[in-house]
Amino acid sequence: MREAAAVRAFLERDVPTGRILLINNSGIGTFGPFPKANLDRELAMIDLNVRGVVQLTGLLLPLLQARGGAIINLASTVAFQPTPFAATYGASKAFILHWTIALNEELRGTNVHALAVCPGTTSTEFFRNAAVGDVAAESALTMTPDEVAEATLRALGARRSQIVPGLANKLYTFFGSRLPKALGARVAGAVLGRRWRRQAHS
């Protein structure tokens, strides 16, 4: 594949010596009933949010194991329960969360570890690009990128496999993950469905 060849060429040419920190932070989202929003974008989201992370990590892992380092994968608080009206996005982040924790366990005893970061609403352009509206501006629980980065670095230093930055996000994921999946989906669908219908008629 051309992408894999390009990554290998980059590794051979441009990666400096020493320990490596791989941060898989690229991602896109969609908002709306499936597949009405845009089926091509849904498929592109799977390619970027899931396939891209697995591919790049797989290509870099031998180098990481040789030099030592860490892998940071960006998941989300929505990884902990089904998310109607953001079904594919939520599922892609659930994959990243579980895959990263499993990978970290496989790497136990080596000089590499993996960390899944699960932020909630963060003040970036993500929500506008996902056509969700300016959620970050509306939420009193919004964190800044610097706050998320600081929590991530602390978790990295402690060699944790998972971090949910922010007390409110921790409470949300704690209780949300303990609901039966069908009930969690119904609650999330009620909340997100109201937002979608409001935007659709605005």
Shortest CA distance to 142 belongs to which of 196, 192, 77, 73?
A: 77
Asked if residue 165 lies in contact with residue 63, where contact means CB atoms within 8 angstroms, the answer is no
| End-to-end Cα, the chain, rounded Å | 44
Nearest-angstrom CA–CA distance, 103 and 115: 9
Shortest CA distance to 50 belongs to which of 98, 107, 93?
A: 93
C-alpha dihedral over 24, 132, 92, 176, to 10 degrees?
110
Residues designated as active site:
89
